[in-house]
A and B are shown apart, each in its own frame.
Chain A
Amino acid sequence: MSSIPIEYYLILSAFMFIVGVTGVLIRRNAIVVFMCIELMLNSANLALVTFSSYIGNPIGQVFVFFVMTVAAAEAAVGLAIIIAIFRNKLTVNIDEINIFKW
């Protein structure tokens, strides 16, 4: 840990987050959008672990487990929704899924 400065971790985390955000904003496939969300969550996890280790307080790492648990639950629900939508509309292209429109 001491050999690699903390900035590297944070830059990697920021990069992963930006990739995730960009993916959410530009990709059309709902599953890919979903994976990008996971990417954003993981970038946050990385930042948590990094700071936890840096401060020497394990709480941040405990948080990571929570985030993973929530992410897993969310993935289960989200995938179920995507499958349900697919069954109804035979597509997962989110441009075509605008049923919340006025």
Chain B
Amino acid sequence: MINYIYLAIILPLAGFLINGLFGRKIKSELIIGLIGSLTVGFSFIISLLAFVETISLPVNQRSNVVELFTWLSVAGLNIKFGYLVDQLSLTMSLIVTGVGFLIHVYSIGYMHGDKGFWKFFAYLNLFIFAMMNLVLGDNFVVLFLGWEGVGLCSYLLIGFWYDKKFEKSTTADAAKKAFIVNRIGDFGFLLGMFLIYYTFDSLNFNEVFSKAQTLSISEATYSFIALFLFIGATGKSAQIPLYVWLPDAMAGPTPVSALIHAATMVTAGVYMVSRASILFASAPVVMLIVAIIGVFTALFAATIGLVQNDIKKILAYSTISQLGYMFLAAGVGAFSASIFHVMTHAFFKALLFLGAGSVIHSMHEEQNIQNYGGLKKYMPKTYLTFLIAALAISGFPGLSGFFSKDEILWYSFINGGFVLWLVGAFTAMLTAFYIFRLFSLTFLGQERFDHHKIHPHESPSVMTIPLIILAVLSVIGGYVGIPEVFSGENGNLFESWLAPIYEPAERLLLMHSETYSHTLEIILMFVSVVLALSAIYFAIHVYTKNRTIAENLSNNFKKLYNLLLNKYYVDEIYDAAIVNPIKIGSEKVLWKFTDAFIIDGIVNGVARIIGLVSGFIRKIQTGVAQFYALVIVAGIALILFWVILSIN
């Protein structure tokens, strides 16, 4: 099936074309939904078969290239449309199509009755198509194609309800914000690609990475390449300073948030860093920057998440925070832990988003958690699955998030040092707190909604079944990556599966210092579990029984509370520092002065001068034929006169 991997990419494209071109005529939501979901479902099956085939191969043959055709061949640049089927890309494509399929199915229920139903499914399929190109491409250009493709689709999907009111303006503005901020990151990514081509004379992954191991290239070059690539990753994966688009991107329909902002697109940056691990490993300084930015983003976003009231906003900041963890892992050289967290995060965060969607659906588009409460008895399935996801993200022992997060914390301790671990562990505690604040305010405690207007109800099974599947995955998903300390001989399955990909990078980094004992690992694990559990307990206690504590806290630390509530005023700072100067500069300097005054002045001035001159000249044109004749005769006479004179 490896050689037919392109089918997994073409099928969603076919779904996009069918729904996009004929969706309006098909009308039946069921057929449109089935086309949209099944194409992705088949894509998943193909990826799964390719995975099974790959896993049956000997370890050194598990990386296969499927070349389709030559895309560009100009001068020295030769770019093939090829797909690299290896452990990393298969893992990613399984996540993308698997979770993507569930979200498609869920969307059939969620988008029921929407006038753009067919359009929505067409966009979703196009998104999966782009994402599959991103993860499977065997060179930077195909990756970039997918990279831009998901950017476009996120724009289309965030702005899906383009005229719906959202905060200060409409969702279309949120879509634009996502698109523009991502462009900034893409600029960095492009620079990185140019530098790679300049240095290695190729953009093909295998060539670049093998040359990176053999050629001797200065560390500065590596640093610049890695830095530029990382700037691209900060845009796509919403890291400081380019994270501001993600919270606003919650303007789109909830399944979009689940698909784009949990399972797929935002992890593209992590995937890319992980794919280019050898380039990053060759630039230790940038690795440190990645780790610091990652952990700082994790902390920063988690603190904002503590006080938000919009259910999707909290999850959005939570996503940013979890992405920070992934970069922390990549930064300390634990690339497989980073991808492991991508996977588990895809399960529980998609579940959280879809659960939130289910709640929003049932609460008639109400998104403020202060207006929920006590939904437990109305929506038992959503409640239970949401609880599992919340426990998973908090790092409850035995659930998927526990394994992946703990691996990251462990590696950040042994490779990055105590401070990184401490910040990471503290963030984990905050995560547990804000997610259970959200959980308690939504499902537990007193009912705070208006019973006359709102009648909460459980969502249809087309929505709850994906929730249940994701809940199962959130529980068992972590067991592929049980840390060595528990599994003993077998070691970490996930890590050994991905190990060949990172082997060159890890050789450079000289990881796995054996000096650290398993006892220490268990102690650290114990500390983070205790932190998480106490945060969970505290959150539930405060937000169900004793809300005065929360109120007192927010009153006593009014300034801090407002700072967090207003998201550190980052958007305002951006507005003041970047957006407004550009706006004013564009309006006053570029438009009013340069364009309206100088350019228009020149153009209109020339026209006016010609107009003035011709105004005089046109007086000559009297319309009297005889005057014209006289001029002609006089002219002839003059010419004759001149001819005769010149003869003599």
Binding site for B on A (CB under 8 A): 21, 24-26, 33, 94-95, 97-102
A-B contact pairs, 20 of them (CB 8 A): A21-B633, A24-B629, A25-B626, A25-B629, A25-B633, A26-B626, A33-B626, A94-B624, A94-B625, A94-B626, A95-B624, A97-B625, A98-B624, A99-B623, A100-B625, A101-B621, A101-B622, A101-B623, A102-B621, A102-B623
Contacts of B25 in A (CB 8 A): none
Q: Which residue of B lies closest to A101 (CB)?
A: B623
Contacts of B633 in A (CB 8 A): 21, 25
B452 CB–A CB distance under 8 Å: no
Q: How far is the CB of A60 from chain B (nearest CB, A)?
A: 22
Contacts of B622 in A (CB 8 A): 98, 101
B630 CB–A CB distance under 8 Å: yes
Q: How far is the CB of B93 from chain A (nearest CB, A)?
A: 73
Q: How far is the CB of B611 from chain A (nearest CB, A)?
A: 13
In the complex, A95→B625 CA distance in Å?
Answer: 8
Extra 5 A-B pairs, beta carbons < 8 Å, given A94-B624, A101-B623, A102-B618: A25-B630, A97-B625, A98-B623, A98-B624, A102-B621
* Residues of B616-647 contacting chain A, CB below 8 A: 618, 621-626, 629-630, 633
Q: How far is the CB of B630 from chain A (nearest CB, A)?
A: 5
Of the listed residues B626, B629, B630, the one surrounded by the most CB atoms of chain A closer than 10 A to its CB is B626
* Residues of B360-375 contacting chain A, CB below 8 A: none
Q: Which residue of B lies closest to A98 (CB)?
A: B623
In the complex, A75→B164 CA distance in Å?
Answer: 75
Q: How far is the CB of A92 from chain B (nearest CB, A)?
A: 12
Q: Which residue of B lies closest to A100 (CB)?
A: B623
Q: Which residue of A lies closest to B619 (CB)?
A: A102
Q: Which residue of B lies closest to A27 (CB)?
A: B626
Contacts of A21 in B (CB 8 A): 633
Instruction: Tell me how many residues of B have a C-beta within 8 Å of chain A.
Output: 10
**Across the interface, do A24 and B626 meet the contact criterion of CB distance under 8 Å?**
yes
Q: How far is the CB of B534 from chain A (nearest CB, A)?
A: 92
In the complex, A20→B612 CA distance in Å?
Answer: 38
Classify the interface of chain B: helix, strand, loop or mixed.
helix
Q: How far is the CB of A30 from chain B (nearest CB, A)?
A: 9
Contacts of A25 in B (CB 8 A): 626, 629-630, 633
In the complex, A95→B622 CA distance in Å?
Answer: 10
Q: Which residue of A lies closest to B630 (CB)?
A: A25
Contacts of B621 in A (CB 8 A): 100-102
Contacts of A95 in B (CB 8 A): 624
Q: How far is the CB of A31 from chain B (nearest CB, A)?
A: 14
In the complex, A100→B630 CA distance in Å?
Answer: 16
In the complex, A25→B630 CA distance in Å?
Answer: 6
Interface string of B585-623 (1 = CB under 8 A from A): 000000000000000000000000000000000100111
Contacts of A101 in B (CB 8 A): 621-624
Of the listed residues B618, B625, B633, the one surrounded by the most CB atoms of chain A closer than 10 A to its CB is B625
Closest 4 CB pairs of A and B: A101-B623, A98-B623, A102-B618, A100-B623
Q: How far is the CB of B629 from chain A (nearest CB, A)?
A: 5
Interface string of B498-527 (1 = CB under 8 A from A): 000000000000000000000000000000
Q: How far is the CB of B632 from chain A (nearest CB, A)?
A: 10
In the complex, A98→B628 CA distance in Å?
Answer: 11
Q: Which residue of A lies closest to B615 (CB)?
A: A102
Interface string of B373-385 (1 = CB under 8 A from A): 0000000000000
Contacts of A102 in B (CB 8 A): 618, 621, 623
Contacts of B618 in A (CB 8 A): 102
Contacts of B629 in A (CB 8 A): 24-25
Q: Which residue of A lies closest to B634 (CB)?
A: A25
Q: Which residue of A lies closest to B625 (CB)?
A: A94
In the complex, A102→B630 CA distance in Å?
Answer: 19
In the complex, A94→B627 CA distance in Å?
Answer: 11
Contacts of B626 in A (CB 8 A): 24-26, 33, 94
Q: How far is the CB of B420 from chain A (nearest CB, A)?
A: 83
Contacts of A99 in B (CB 8 A): 623
Interface string of B37-53 (1 = CB under 8 A from A): 00000000000000000
Contacts of A97 in B (CB 8 A): 625
Q: How far is the CB of A82 from chain B (nearest CB, A)?
A: 12
Interface string of B222-236 (1 = CB under 8 A from A): 000000000000000
Contacts of A33 in B (CB 8 A): 626
In the complex, A62→B81 CA distance in Å?
Answer: 78
Q: How far is the CB of A74 from chain B (nearest CB, A)?
A: 15
In the complex, A9→B128 CA distance in Å?
Answer: 98
Q: Which residue of A lies closest to B636 (CB)?
A: A21
Q: Which residue of A lies closest to B614 (CB)?
A: A102
In the complex, A99→B626 CA distance in Å?
Answer: 13
Q: How far is the CB of B541 from chain A (nearest CB, A)?
A: 91
Contacts of A100 in B (CB 8 A): 621, 623, 625
In the complex, A94→B626 CA distance in Å?
Answer: 8
Q: How far is the CB of B68 from chain A (nearest CB, A)?
A: 67
In the complex, A25→B629 CA distance in Å?
Answer: 7
Q: How far is the CB of B613 from chain A (nearest CB, A)?
A: 14
In the complex, A94→B625 CA distance in Å?
Answer: 7
In the complex, A11→B629 CA distance in Å?
Answer: 23
Q: How far is the CB of B628 from chain A (nearest CB, A)?
A: 9
Contacts of A98 in B (CB 8 A): 622-624
* Residues of B51-93 contacting chain A, CB below 8 A: none
Contacts of B624 in A (CB 8 A): 94-95, 98, 101
Q: Which residue of A lies closest to B618 (CB)?
A: A102
Q: How far is the CB of A13 from chain B (nearest CB, A)?
A: 16
In the complex, A102→B615 CA distance in Å?
Answer: 10
In the complex, A101→B624 CA distance in Å?
Answer: 8
Contacts of A24 in B (CB 8 A): 626, 629
In the complex, A33→B625 CA distance in Å?
Answer: 11
In the complex, A26→B626 CA distance in Å?
Answer: 7
Contacts of A26 in B (CB 8 A): 626
Q: Which residue of A lies closest to B620 (CB)?
A: A102
